[in-house]
Structure 1
Amino acid sequence: MTETPTPIVVGTTAEPRTFGPLTPAMFVRYSGASGDLNPMHYDDTLARAAGNPSVFSQGMHQSALLATFATDWLGAHNIRRFGVRFREQVWPNDVLTCTGKVTAVEPAQEGHQLVTVDLMCTRQTGGIAISGTAEFRIEPGL
């Protein structure tokens, strides 16, 4: 028996997803993959000399995790817009929880819907690392 998909309506939420605990090795790998070679993300001595308690994660690293969460939820092939606002620093051993909620559903061309979602990436402390929004063009009933 085939399960009927739950329609996406305003207020629909995604199952939260956690990432971490984050490690300095993750920051190093992201530096290499992204080309962001700012030593604040991988040289602990330099990061401390600059007044930080340690190295810290790149904002775009959290953005990538939030984008992964969102596209796993509503489909990478459906995304039309994604934007974030960096709000709080992320440190080694932080555990991030990504959440999402549908805030608008509008008709789009060819029977599709334009779905707008609010996204949040929160540290285990309750602090918001980044917040964002995304738009997806999806088939109704997915």
Structure 2
Amino acid sequence: MKKFVIKIGVNAVALWVASLILKSGITFDRAGGSNVQLVETVLIVALIFGLVNTFIRPIVKLFSLGLIVLTVGLITFVINALMLMLTSAICGHLAVHFHVKNFVAALIGSLIITAVSMVLHTVLPDDAK
């Protein structure tokens, strides 16, 4: 359970940093709300993003295994961007105020999210070590 909470927290921070860097490409809309509502929205999006990456991403990677080998893994960046866009679409259906403007924003955002997540996972303690 602790590992799950840490993973959601890391996703939340990474998504928030991506939205700060790509101000017009990835947005968390406060809808007139407070900072507390913004934090709640970021955590909900992080949970949805984590679920998408846990259940859907492995299936997509399995079906695109040939492309992964052919492109020496570079297609993985496209898959990550598509997972971010899927998260945005799911949030739209659930009335969660998160939006990814286009594929380019999703691609750059997924790179930022990956970099921030790697740094945070390096800094945070791991129970397995």
Question: Same-fold call, TM > 0.5?
Answer: no
Q: Which structure is richer in relative contact order (CA contacts within 8 A, separation 6 or more)?
A: 2
Q: Which has the higher helix share?
A: 2
Instruction: Give 1 or 2 for the bigger CA radius of gyration.
Output: 1
